[in-house]
């Protein structure tokens, strides 16, 4: 797994549950270091171990923890970058949803060896989408679910999102867009550092 993903997961756990929680967790897993380097690669098993162990310590399901991680990526100021980079995808939530298919390509423009799942967006009927998320490692679906819920808020859209399960390497989400401009949403300035 790319270190940027592991590092973000670490930031989420540290930021949400404290440094002490993280240090206990990493001591228990004992990978030989206590912090992920964002530009390294790590064995995907290690990433999964961190997720499983953290979920167990917190008494949460793995799915919920991953969903919270996705929300954190959009909502928390420490990962403002991620929110910004995603918002470049579209001027409104619909356009953003359509841009999701480009997401792996966009990520690789910046970090060529980034692992991102392949995403397919199908519009079944107006405002009703199905997202297919394909990656050998399970879990991306829940992270994206959490991120999309937060992004819908960010765009000011009202949407119902659900996780429909995993089959083979593909996880599916359904998105029902009820109102494109339910609230004002958060502003997005193209220029960095201004909003």
Instruction: State yes or no: residue 85 binds other proteins (CB under 8 A).
Output: yes
Which segment (34-42, 64-72, 126-134, 159-167) binds other proteins by CB under 8 A? Answer: 34-42
Q: How far is the CB of 92 from other proteins (least distance, A)?
A: 8
Contact 54, 65 (CB under 8 A): yes
Question: Going by DSSP bridges, is the β-strand pair 170-179/128-134 parallel, antiparallel, or unpaired?
Answer: antiparallel
Which residue is listed with tokens 């002490």? 20
Count CB atoms within 10 A of the CB of residue 178. 11
Q: Is 109 in the site for other proteins (CB under 8 A)?
A: yes
Name every residue whose Cβ is closer than 8 Å to that of residue 49 and which is 6 or more positions away in sequence.
Answer: 29
78 binds other proteins (CB under 8 A): no
Q: Specify the residue, 98 or 182, whose C-beta has the smaller distance to other proteins.
A: 98
Q: Which of 23, 45, 91, 124 binds other proteins (CB under 8 A)?
A: 91
What is the Cα–Cα distance from 100 to 184, expressed in whole angstroms? Answer: 22
Q: What angle do CA 79, 99, 177 make, to 5 degrees?
A: 90
Tell me how crowded residue 179 is: count the other CB atoms within 10 A of its CB.
13
Q: How far is the CB of 116 from other proteins (least distance, A)?
A: 13
Task: Select the span of 9-17, 86-94, 146-154, 169-177 touching other proteins (CB under 8 A).
Answer: 86-94
Q: Tell me what percent of the chain is helix, strand and coil, each rounded to the nearest 5.
A: 50, 20, 30
**CA dist., res. 77 & res. 110, Å (int):** 21
Question: Residue 79 or 174: which CB sits closer to other proteins?
Answer: 79
Of 58-66, 77-85, 131-139, 158-166, the segment contacting other proteins by CB under 8 A is 77-85
Q: Which of 4, 50, 97, 148 lies at the binding interface for other proteins (CB under 8 A)?
A: 4
Binder of other proteins out of 32, 59, 77, 110 (CB under 8 A): 110
- Contact set with other proteins (CB under 8 A): 4, 37-39, 81, 84-85, 88, 90-91, 106, 109-111, 188-194
């Amino acid at each position: 797994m790319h270190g940027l993903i592991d590092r973000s997961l670490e930031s989420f756990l540290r930021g949400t549950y404290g440094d002490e929680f993280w240090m206990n967790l990493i001591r228990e897993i004992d990978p030989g270091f206590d912090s992920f380097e964002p530009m390294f690669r790590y064995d995907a098993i290690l990433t999964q171990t961190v997720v499983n162990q953290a979920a167990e310590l917190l008494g949460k399901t793995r799915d919920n923890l991953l969903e919270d991680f996705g929300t954190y990526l959009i909502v928390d100021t420490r990962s403002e970058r991620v929110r910004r980079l995603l918002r470049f995808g579209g001027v409104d939530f619909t356009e953003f949803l359509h841009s999701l298919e480009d997401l792996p390509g966009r990520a690789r423009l910046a970090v060529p060896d980034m692992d991102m799942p392949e995403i397919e967006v199908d519009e079944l009927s107006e405002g009703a989408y199905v997202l297919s998320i394909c990656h050998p490692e399970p879990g991306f679906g829940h992270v994206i679910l959490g991120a999309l819920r937060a992004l819908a808020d960010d765009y000011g859209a009202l949407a119902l999102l659900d996780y429909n399960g995993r089959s083979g390497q593909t996880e599916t989400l359904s998105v029902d867009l009820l109102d494109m401009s339910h609230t004002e949403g958060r502003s997005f300035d193209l220029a960095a550092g201004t909003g």
